[in-house]
């Protein structure tokens, strides 16, 4: 009997390794069809899941309470599974080179607990060649088994968009690949259990790996183009958003907008591609240039804040700047690689210690990752400048009266509003006489 059939008949189990914003929704989805083990080294996270708490807000507490996933931090439980899905992070080092420590570490863990007849599928973003050249040798060494004979390997890049309630695992086409035709078909059938719109069978593991880094590099480049336009239009005194609105009336406009580019994918994946290209003697021009532009946007916004404070006759060092939003994108608690931190660092250069408000973010993570002590909304009452850095719905819905309450007793012309995400009504803000700037 094939592994797929044994999984469906609940004679074998799937193990999902890495239960973050990607792995946990995958585990919950598969658990509706087959028996699933959910493994993560973070014991605190495992306890939260066992208590019915979803710290990611991806599926919600109710779904966690109802799921049959066997959450564990005990790696020996992996021996009970035959189909392993790897969803650990693949960050970059300080010098922007790939940090493969997590994926190498998890390969060792799986290898030590791998049994004959298993399939291991990597979902973590890597440059082409990592699965076959780095992961497989580790699996073989740790298990004493031979890949292709005793176990198979595949690659299926994650495409989950944290915080997105429309584009979900079920309705995003899944790229799948395998070491050979047999493993490809087996992997495809397993994923088709939960991906309603179907899968795309890539010709090889390297093709699937490349597709992941390229699709995010493409978005990165397009956003970099808009960011460069925003910097130029700022010097010209032209409102970028008005230009974008006019441009988007054309049928083939791509509808990208300027902004901060962080997170675990778009702000990271291009560096994996650049790294491998340079190893082969090719120095990236377009992709690297896009990365440099996007990595510089936090500083650009920080300088814009300083300029608006000066024009509003503020003493810069004494100005009380409140940043609304720390997560890397709206309506999610995910703070990984948040470029809001670049704004904070730029303001620090001017001896400004901004106050940061974000009810979505985890205060412990904010302190650990960025040294930021999050402040509750109701403690803000005498700000000189409000910086809307993340487009949380809570911030989008703020009224003029709520903003005034955060400013306190100031003439409107001295109230500075910096709208990084262009979520406010420009006409209303300017009608009330505020000093307003948007990216």
Catalytic positions, written as ranges: 265
State the Cα–Cα distance between residues 378 and 103, nearest whole angstrom. Answer: 42
Output Rg (C-alpha) for the chain, integer angstroms.
24
* Cβ atoms of residues 40 and 46 within 8 Å: yes
DSSP code per residue over 356-412: EE-TTS-HHHHHHHH------GGG--S-SEEEE-S--HHHHT--HHHHHHHH-S--G
* Cβ atoms of residues 83 and 3 within 8 Å: yes
The closest alpha carbon to 35, from 218, 190, 169, belongs to 190
**Which secondary-structure segment (H or E) carries 105?**
helix 101-112
- Dihedral angle of Cα 419, 255, 157, 271, to the nearest 10 degrees: -60
Q: How many C-beta atoms lie closer than 10 Å to residue 28's C-beta?
A: 26
3-class SS shares of the chain: helix, strand, coil, % to 5: 45, 15, 40
State the Cα–Cα distance between residues 317 and 347, nearest whole angstrom. Answer: 9
State the Cα–Cα distance between residues 179 and 138, nearest whole angstrom. Answer: 16
- Dihedral angle of Cα 425, 427, 432, 436, to the nearest 10 degrees: 70
**Residue 181 CA: distances (Å) to CA of 62, 201, 433:** 39, 10, 66
* Cβ atoms of residues 27 and 19 within 8 Å: yes
Residue 75 has phi, psi (to 5 degrees) of -65, -25
State the Cα–Cα distance between residues 118 and 122, nearest whole angstrom. Answer: 13
**Helices and strands in the chain: count of H runs, count of E runs:** 18, 13
* Cβ atoms of residues 393 and 331 within 8 Å: yes
* Cβ atoms of residues 438 and 419 within 8 Å: yes
Token pair, residue 131, equals: 């699965």
């Amino acid at each position: 009997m094939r592994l797929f059939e044994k999984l469906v008949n609940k004679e074998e189990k799937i193990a999902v390794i890495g239960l973050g914003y990607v792995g946990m929704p995958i585990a919950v989805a598969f658990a509706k069809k087959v028996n699933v083990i959910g493994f993560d080294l973070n014991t605190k996270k495992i306890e939260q899941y066992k208590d019915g708490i979803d710290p990611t807000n991806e599926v919600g507490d109710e779904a966690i309470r109802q799921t049959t996933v066997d959450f564990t931090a005990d790696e020996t439980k992996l021996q009970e599974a035959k189909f392993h899905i790897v969803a650990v992070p693949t960050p970059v080092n300080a010098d922007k080179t790939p940090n493969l420590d997590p994926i190498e570490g998890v390969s060792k863990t799986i290898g030590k607990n791998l049994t004959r007849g298993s399939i291991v599928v990597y979902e973590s973003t890597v440059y082409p060649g990592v699965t076959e050249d780095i992961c497989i040798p580790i699996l073989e060494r740790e298990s004493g088994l031979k890949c292709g004979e005793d176990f198979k390997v595949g690659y299926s890049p994650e495409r989950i968009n944290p915080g997105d309630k429309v584009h979900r695992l079920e309705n995003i086409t899944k790229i799948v690949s395998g070491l050979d035709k047999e493993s490809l078909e087996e992997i495809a059938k397993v994923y088709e259990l939960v991906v309603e719109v179907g899968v795309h069978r890539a010709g090889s593991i390297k093709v699937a790996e490349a597709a992941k880094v390229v699709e995010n590099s493409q978005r990165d480049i397009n956003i970099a183009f808009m960011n460069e336009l925003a910097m130029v239009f700022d010097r010209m005194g032209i409102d970028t958003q008005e230009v974008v609105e006019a441009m988007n009336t054309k049928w083939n406009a791509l509808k990208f907008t300027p902004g901060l580019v962080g997170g675990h994918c778009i702000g990271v994946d291009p560096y994996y591609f650049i790294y491998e290209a340079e190893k082969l003697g090719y120095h990236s021009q377009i992709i690297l240039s896009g990365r440099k532009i996007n990595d510089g946007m936090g500083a650009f916004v920080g300088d814009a804040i300083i300029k608006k404070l000066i024009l509003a006759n503020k003493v810069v060092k004494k100005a009380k700047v409140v940043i609304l939003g720390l997560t890397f994108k709206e309506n999610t608690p995910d703070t990984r690689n948040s470029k809001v931190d670049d704004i904070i660092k730029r303001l620090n250069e001017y001896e400004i210690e901004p106050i940061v408000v974000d009810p979505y973010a985890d205060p412990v993570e904010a302190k650990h990752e960025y040294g930021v002590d999050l402040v509750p909304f109701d403690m803000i009452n005498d700000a000189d400048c409000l910086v809307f850095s993340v487009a949380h719905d809570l911030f989008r819905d703020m009224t003029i009266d709520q903003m005034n309450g955060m400013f306190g007793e100031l003439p409107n012309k001295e109230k500075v509003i910096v709208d990084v995400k262009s979520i406010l009504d420009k006409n209303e803000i300017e009608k009330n006489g505020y000093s307003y700037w948007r990216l």
